Structure 1
Amino acid sequence: MTLHYDVDAVVLDIEGTTSATGFVVDVLYPYSRSRFGALLSERSDDPDVARAVAQVREEIGEPDADDVRIEKALNAWLDEDRKATPLKTLQGVIWSEGFARGDLVSHFYDDVVPALRAWHAAGVRLYVYSSGSVAAQRAWFASSPEGDLLPLVSGLYDTENAGAKQEPESYGRIAEATGFAPERLLFLSDRPGELDAARAAGWQAVGIRRPGEPYYEQGVGDHAQAGTFDEITVSRSTT
């Protein structure tokens, strides 16, 4: 069954939605873990790194924590898969450089890129809202197996510039930033809590359920659902 939506924009989650969570966990997480120490010791003057380090110290309640303690905290959060903003910021710095060097190439499910191109060609705006930092999102879309996809994307949102993904207020901020009415926005995600928050903010929402993904068995509650982007048709009325 195909789902049809008349909207102005589609907002995309990444992990479990456009891309395999396993790739992030098995490839990107170890890549960042192996480089935290060097980043902290060599790039302490970088504004993004300095801000993230200050945030780590604040979160762990240790204002004088040194690089070794910071790295230990980052690795612990990584083990917990905690969506801590400073962790995502530092991962974003590391991944951006890895993608730029060609060490990394991002993953997209086969059905995703053709759908994004079709929706973009139909005049629908595309945005990304992920727990990964904006820097990581930019590198991810710029370094796909099919080349640079950033020209398809009108804006990037994360937990720092929009807020937590399971809070309706975050979706209100994104709607305001895009200039589109909430009911003209469609959010695609595999996480029921995020879909609930988007709907509470007045958005339309579809749960993406891909076999093998962490939330597949749990399902998406009472939301409309699709197994691939092929099952979703998006258009933008001009009336």
Structure 2
Amino acid sequence: MTIKAVLTDIEGTTSSVNFVYEVLFPYAVQHLPAFVLANAQQPAVAAQLEAVRADSQEPDADVPRLIEILLEWIAADRKATALKALQGMIWAEGYQNGQLRGHVYPDAVAALQRWHAQGYRLYVYSSGSIQAQQLIFGCSEAGDLSPLFSGYFDTTSGPKREAASYERIAQAIDLPAEQILFLSDIVEELDAAQQAGMQTCGLARMGGELPGHGQVASFAVIDLGGF
């Protein structure tokens, strides 16, 4: 079956895990308290804070308590949609004022540009919010890569380790699952995409094994015609 679209993870796949844990997360930790205090009454922020109250089962939590909860979630790397949305807002300020630049591996940049030029449709699926995804590519060290992508998906499409999430994405892309290649560095995500009928390729940049899937150490050696 011919591949017509590529769906890629970000962290550990197109971009360094270290960028997320050593740059983005510390930036969010540093700026989250002041951001939430300053913007708690803004509708977009207030809606996410209400979601934090619901998710934490603390319906009466005040803003200082909500900040504590959010910082605890960051420390635990919790994949909470409300946290991801708030982090995205904080990072947006960092990108806009030039304090942040998105890391994308040069081999990923070159392959994505080549595939786009060849007519493949490119999509992103990450646990980070869609806004955060758009920022990392739109304000990358390699420039604005956002024109390469046809769409973005986050945890609002479902958990990344569940096949149903990939079925929803295939429906949204409007292609048979077998015409979509999913790229990730996490075997459980690759398993879920495979169960949904997608083609898969694992990125093992630092070595290791992703059993049950073809794997490469670089985007440069991925041959879309070989699937």
TM-score if structure 1 supplies the norm length? 0.91
The one of 164, 181, 187 equivalent to 2:182 is 187
- Matching residue of 1:26: 22
| Cα distance in 2, alignment partners of residues 95 and 235 from structure 1 | 37
Consecutive unaligned residues in structure 1, runs of 5 or more: none
- Matching residue of 1:94: 90
Q: CA deviation at 1:59?
A: 1.4
Aligned amino acid, residue 106 of structure 2: D
Indicate whether 1:15 and 2:5 are aligned. Answer: no
- Which structure shows the higher helix fraction? 2
Q: CA deviation at 1:78?
A: 1.1
The one of 56, 66, 70 equivalent to 1:70 is 66
Indicate whether 1:199 and 2:199 are aligned. Answer: no
| Cα distance in 2, alignment partners of residues 47 and 149 from structure 1 | 30
- Matching residue of 1:232: 222
Q: CA deviation at 1:235?
A: 4.8
Q: Cα RMSD over matched residues? A: 1.6
- Matching residue of 1:169: 164
Consecutive unaligned residues in structure 2, runs of 5 or more: none
Q: How does 1:62-141 map to 2 (within 5 A)?
A: 62-141=58-137
TM-score if structure 2 supplies the norm length? 0.96
Find the residue that maps to 2:106 and give its secondary structure.
coil
Q: CA deviation at 1:184?
A: 0.3
Find the residue that maps to 1:34 and give its secondary structure.
helix
1:47/1:172 CA distance change after superposition, 3 Å: farther
Aligned amino acid, residue 100 of structure 1: Q
| Cα distance in 2, alignment partners of residues 69 and 116 from structure 1 | 42
Aligned amino acid, residue 172 of structure 2: A
Find the residue that maps to 1:146 and give its secondary structure.
coil
CA contact (8 A) 1:119 1:235 kept: no
Work out which structure has the larger RCO, using CA pairs closer than 8 Å and 6 or more positions apart in sequence: 1
Find the residue that maps to 1:186 and give its secondary structure.
strand
1:47/1:176 CA distance change after superposition, 3 Å: farther
Find the residue that maps to 1:230 and give its secondary structure.
helix
| Cα distance in 1, alignment partners of residues 192 and 94 from structure 2 | 33
| Cα distance in 1, alignment partners of residues 145 and 112 from structure 2 | 9
| Cα distance in 2, alignment partners of residues 49 and 30 from structure 1 | 20
Which deviates more from structure 2 when the two are superposed, residues 137-146 or residues 45-54?
A: 45-54
Moved over 2 A (4+): 45-48
Aligned amino acid, residue 43 of structure 2: P
CA contact (8 A) 1:32 1:91 kept: yes
| Cα distance in 2, alignment partners of residues 229 and 6 from structure 1 | 19
| Cα distance in 2, alignment partners of residues 138 and 47 from structure 1 | 21
Indicate whether 1:46 and 2:36 are aligned. Answer: no
